Amino acid sequence: MQSFRTELENPLVEKDIIELDRKIREFKEGKISDEKFRSLRLARGVYGQRQQGVQMVRIKLPYGKMTFAQWKKIADVSDEFASSNLHLTTRQDVQIHYVSLDRTPELWSLLEEDSITMREACGNAVRNVTGSDTAGVDFDEPFDISPYAHAIFEYFLRKPFGQELGRKFKIAVSSSLKDTALIFMHDLGILPLIKVIDGKKVRGFKVVVGGGLGAQPFLAITTHEFLEADLLIPYIEAVIRVFDRYGERNSRHKARIKFLISHLGIDAFNELVAAEQKAVTVKTYPIDISHADKVVLPSGIAPTKDVQIKNPLNFEIWKKTNVKKQKQDGYFLAYVRVPNGNISSDISRRLIEKLNTVIADDVRVTITQNLQFRFIKEENIPYIYSVLEAENLVNPGYGSAADIVSCPGTDTCNLGISNSTSLSLVLSAMIEEEYPDFLSDDSIDIRISGCMNSCGQHGIGTIGFHGSSLKVKDKVVPAVQVLIGGGNLGGGEGRIANKVLKVPSKRAPEVVRYVLNDYKANKQGEETLLQYTFRVGEKHYYGLLKPLTDSTTLEADDYLDWGKVETFATAIGVGECAGVMVDLVSTLIFEAEEKIDLAIESFGNKLYADGIYYVYAGFINAAKALLLNSDVQCNTQVGILKDFDTHFTDKGLYTGAASFKDLVLQINQNEPSAAFGDAYLQQALAFIEFAKAYKG
């Protein structure tokens, strides 16, 4: 049945790719429903685009790290399968667009030749682990978090409890208390700390949970001021297991872990996590840090005789804003501003070819959609600039107001309302031209999303915009919701921006001018814009920006979105990033049996914790099938257990246990052993046979 050949060393990866190929064929033959197939492909990084008949493929780069070989492979794959463009994301992924569904298995197999995965890059799973781009070179870091971020990525890949969550789960790891990975807006985030215990320096982490943006943003809550490093992964596993069991399943808008914690309260949530510790795979998980400081340093010296800098003044500004010292003596890192995070495959290959001897084989994608090069000798900086200058990639102002974060918006996303990418370019150019003094100020953060779902993270921008629309008489005007006053306070603390008002999209540049001019005229001393917004408050900005809402002065151009020539219309599709609900009764029993097969396979490999979780999932799927068959709607996994007892056990329809809930929840009452696993499996097999007979 397979349409291509793989020659991969990892049998798990090969099995994954062959399975995707088989499922694509079954979907096209009508054997798998659209809803079910969507869930399956999303978990393998294949995401539907706004344009019909093509896919976006998301490629995971843990904490944004890629080698030259990986970068080149992604560029080559984009040429062969996609649009020859690499889109860098705020989660340090790379996305390629306009991919044929039929070719995604072949594409994936080529990526895996250089240890690049698409697995769980989309869908209701544990997503890419993001990290500070300065990890390993940061003056302020207690220790390098890179091996810890990588261990989290590796450990949770393909784990059964992280495959079919109610919604996605995002983890971030910052390198210091400056929190440059923004843990305060994540489902789970950690900051490195060192604590002296019994006279010894012990590594550990501050841990926060329950952050998130979107239409209802939440700031993460601290659960541990100091959790020893060896306990970190078991703790994260327990958190994800609790989220899987108690998290919302029906309403995707209430299914993130932030809503679960808000509903339960943090104390009750912590109690559930503590109770789950007995069932986790391991009780401690030491992480190998022996390779943390091993860097493949640049091998050569730049050909300085060939250096030609066209704009010496810009070079000096660029050095000031885009080049930083590393903690390693004599080395520097350089940031490349990549407009909208889009860089072509041709440019990528030329940069690799010309820079591979003067930068480390360790390129980082940043959470601001840029690139970072590291371990640069000072004498090689002019050459690196000249190479970037030839590719028009020497915009100064990394991390400044001109370095704007934006999602793809209406370019490719189903949920996009307005064009965030064109607006981003307009604002960047305006700031560079009109406010050059702000290019060296890294405290102003402008972020743009095409809709309220916050892929551009507008909710934490000092100035934020998200796509919207306005009705003016009988016409629809492209608009942006303006938000002011979000930002990173450090130490795992942050501030969510206040919604101020809506203005036509074409007036967004005026919003920025009003805000920056007001700040320049009225700030006190060294007060940052964020601090200024604290002082003046939300009402100040409503009054300041209210004149821009006047619809009586609209002109013809205001009815066109940025970068568009056609009349604006709010054409919104079904967003796949926001979660997929798959509740097809006809497939649930079959899925229960599939889980049992996976459990038996796991037990055969002595992966008892994984196998036991597959058994648990088999119980859940079979019970859910019978409840839905009886017109009982299911909301959470723990709700399924309660409802089954109410509608089946208590009525004498099921007599296999005095309490079905207690039977299934043996999972967190026992250590993951071969003996318990076998007993639990036999109970599940008996229940599934009951379910099949009852359903008929």
| pTM reported for the whole predicted model | 0.92
478-503 b/e with 16+ CB inside 10 Å = b?
A: bbbbbbbbbbbeebbebbbbbbbbbb
Residue 295 has pLDDT above 90, yes or no: no
Residue 1 has pLDDT above 50, yes or no: no
Mean of per-residue pLDDT scores for the chain: 91
CB 438 within 8 A of CB 516: yes
**Bridge partners for 471 per DSSP:** 476
**How far apart are alpha carbons 518 and 515 in whole angstroms?**
5
**How far apart are alpha carbons 297 and 317 in whole angstroms?**
27
pLDDT digits (tens, 9 = 90+) for 469-506: 888 888 889 999 999 999 999 999 999 999 999 999 99
For residue 687, give the nearest of 632, 608, 621, 640 by alpha carbon: 621
Question: How would residue 299 be classed by pLDDT, with cut points 50, 70 and 90?
Answer: confident
Q: For the beta carbon of residue 69, count every other beta carbon within 10 angstroms.
A: 14
pLDDT at 443: 94
For residue 446, give the nearest of 387, 406, 480, 494 by alpha carbon: 406
CA angle at 185 for the pair 179 and 189, rounded to the nearest 5°: 60
Chain center to CA of 496: 18
Chain center to CA of 445: 19
The packing angle between helices 266-276 and 232-246, to 10°, is 110
Residue 283 has phi, psi (to 5 degrees) of -90, -25
CB 562 within 8 A of CB 423: yes
Chain center to CA of 129: 7
Q: How confident is the model over 371-377, as a mean pLDDT? A: 97
pLDDT digits (tens, 9 = 90+) for 562-621: 877 666 565 545 455 544 333 455 568 888 998 999 999 999 999 999 999 999 999 999
Q: Which comes out higher in pLDDT, residue 433 or 47? A: 433
**How far apart are alpha carbons 4 and 464 in whole angstroms?**
46
**How far apart are alpha carbons 82 and 95 in whole angstroms?**
10
Lowest-pLDDT range, 205-219, 280-294, 393-407, 529-543? 280-294
Tokens of 514: 């009003």
pLDDT digits (tens, 9 = 90+) for 503-518: 999 999 999 999 999 9
CB 49 within 8 A of CB 56: yes
Residues 6+ away with beta carbon under 8 Å from 626: 644, 648, 691, 694, 695
425 vs 337, 338, 448, 506, CA distance in Å? Answer: 12, 11, 11, 13
**How far apart are alpha carbons 381 and 377 in whole angstroms?**
7
Pairing of strands 55-59, 487-490: unpaired
For residue 171, give the nearest of 144, 208, 134 by alpha carbon: 208
- Residue showing tokens 């789950």: 276
CB 227 within 8 A of CB 236: no
Taking the alpha carbons of 676, 682, 684, 686 in that order, is the dihedral positive or negative? negative
pLDDT digits (tens, 9 = 90+) for 70-86: 999 999 999 999 999 99
Tokens of 696: 């008929």
Residue 45, sorted as left (phi over 0), alpha (psi -120 to 50) or beta, turns out to be left
pLDDT digits (tens, 9 = 90+) for 519-536: 999 999 999 999 999 999
What string of DSSP letters covers 265-315?
A: -HHHHHHHHHHHGGGSS-S------TTTT------S---GGG---S-HHHH
pLDDT at 580: 38
- Residue showing tokens 């609900």: 581
Quick check: helix, strand or coil at residue 559?
A: helix
Q: What string of H, E and C letters represents the secondary structure of 306-338?
A: HCCCCCHHHHHHHHHHHEEECCCCCEEEEEECC
Q: How confident is the model over 167-172, as a mean pLDDT? A: 96
524 vs 54, 235, 379, CA distance in Å? Answer: 52, 45, 40
Exposure of 230 by Cβ count < 10 A (0-12 exposed, 13-18 middle, 19+ buried)? middle
For residue 300, give the nearest of 220, 371, 231, 380 by alpha carbon: 380
Domains of the chain with bracketed CATH: 1-64+81-120 (3.90.480.20), 124-291 (3.30.413.10), 304-390 (3.90.480.10), 405-559 (3.30.413.10), 585-695 (1.20.120.330)
pLDDT digits (tens, 9 = 90+) for 126-156: 999 999 999 999 999 999 999 999 999 999 9
Tokens of 595: 């889980």
pLDDT digits (tens, 9 = 90+) for 631-674: 898 889 999 999 999 999 999 999 999 999 999 999 999 999 99
Residue 347 has pLDDT above 70, yes or no: yes
The H or E element spanning position 371 is strand 371-377
C-alpha dihedral (34, 35, 37, 40), degrees to nearest 10: 160
Q: What string of H, E and C letters represents the secondary structure of 197-233?
A: ECCEEEEEEEEEECCECCCCCECCEEEEEEEEHHHHH
- Residue showing tokens 């501050």: 206
Question: How would residue 43 be classed by pLDDT, with cut points 50, 70 and 90?
Answer: confident
**Bridge partners for 366 per DSSP:** none
Lowest-pLDDT range, 298-307, 411-420, 582-591? 582-591
Name the DSSP class of 431. H
**How far apart are alpha carbons 672 and 279 in whole angstroms?**
6
Which amino acid, residue 153?
F
pLDDT at 583: 40
CB 648 within 8 A of CB 654: yes
Exposure of 565 by Cβ count < 10 A (0-12 exposed, 13-18 middle, 19+ buried)? exposed
